[in-house]
Amino acid sequence: MEANWRAPLFTAVAPIAWGSTYFVSSHFLPTDRPLFAAAMRALPAGLFLLAITRTLPRDDWWWKTAVLGLLNIGLFFPLIFLSAFHLPGGMAATLTATSPIAMMLFAWLLIRERPTALGIAGAVVGAAGVALLVLRAGFQVDLIGVAASLGAVLLSSLGYLLVKRWQPPVPMLTLVSWQLVAGGIVLVPVAAFVEGGPPALDGQAVWGFLYIGLIGTALAHVAWMTGLRRMPAGAVALIGLLNPVAGTLIGVVLAHEAFGTAQALGMMLVLGGVLAGQPAVHELLRPARKNVVSVVDRACVPTP
């Protein structure tokens, strides 16, 4: 049973790390340079991992890496920042919580991985839980922000499923280094063109970028891609709903943000949705389902 939970627990490192980046970004990094922050998040971390792995793409993995880096990093990061600028954080997080449904759909189309009933139910319940957890009254819908948020969901879901379909012949640390470098190379000129030269960084910003680069990006992506390799795509996508849970808890503990009944209920729904889609839970429920079916079958047998 322990082995069945090892992959989900390691995969959960990714959304928990991503959730912590909200606090770090808002308290330690320059808030008016989102594209610079995205480039600094991707390229240095990618080059650091590449220096460790010392492996470059070969054959058709040059163009595959370019595609994955563009979808998962180069386009995803700017769209996430754009949605953050045009939408309240709760609204953006709620739209991003539709990603398990998108992942299940792409998995069905690209790798013939049929979604389970429990997985679909978990996605719906989890998205509702995220809405309760982060939505606040008085928000306004901005169509640019909505389009950016949903675009980020669709592009990253496609990128993650391509990782699963293409089956990279290298360790995930190597694949992540390729994607981060490819995405960072796209982001650097875009950031320079839109925002100008890099800003001056104080000590707090340097430590913030180190944390986001090494923990919130490098480690998180290795954990996430490892989960994609070892688990069904739908189960991995549901684990991603832990992102707003982690962000909320860190905000409550470190920034003394409000936490009430609605947030507690939302958190329980999210956790229930995540668990509902995990293969280990399905294995636990399989004997119970067999017993129920056996009882029903015996009850349906006519008495002689």
pLDDT in tens, 145-171: 788 888 888 998 999 999 989 989 999
Q: List, for residues 262-289, the tens digit of each pLDDT value.
A: 888 988 998 898 888 888 777 776 665 5
Instruction: Tokens for 286, please give them.
Output: 């399989």
Ramachandran angles phi, psi of 106, nearest 5°: -65, -40
Record the pTM: 0.84
Q: Are 140 and 85 in contact (CB under 8 A)?
A: no
Q: How far apart are CA 97 and CA 105, in angstroms?
A: 14
Contacts 24+ apart (CB under 8 A), 54-62: 55/170, 55/174, 56/178, 57/178, 61/168, 61/169, 61/178
Output the pLDDT for position 140: 63
Output the pLDDT for position 10: 93
* Listed residue (52, 51, 30) closest to 41, CA to CA: 30
Domain assignment of residue 126, given as a range: 2-300
Average confidence (pLDDT) over 38-63: 93
Ramachandran angles phi, psi of 150, nearest 5°: -70, -35
How far from 224 is each of 125, 161, 199, CA to CA, in Å?
Answer: 22, 12, 31
Residue 301 reports pLDDT greater than 60: no
**288 versus 189: which is more confidently predicted?**
189
**Average predicted confidence (pLDDT) for the chain:** 84
Number of domains in the chain: 1
Torsion (CA) 41, 183, 176, 83 in degrees, nearest 10:
60
- How many Å is the Cα radius of gyration of the chain? 21
Tell me which DSSP letter residue 29 carries. S
Neighbouring CB atoms inside 10 A of 244's CB total 29
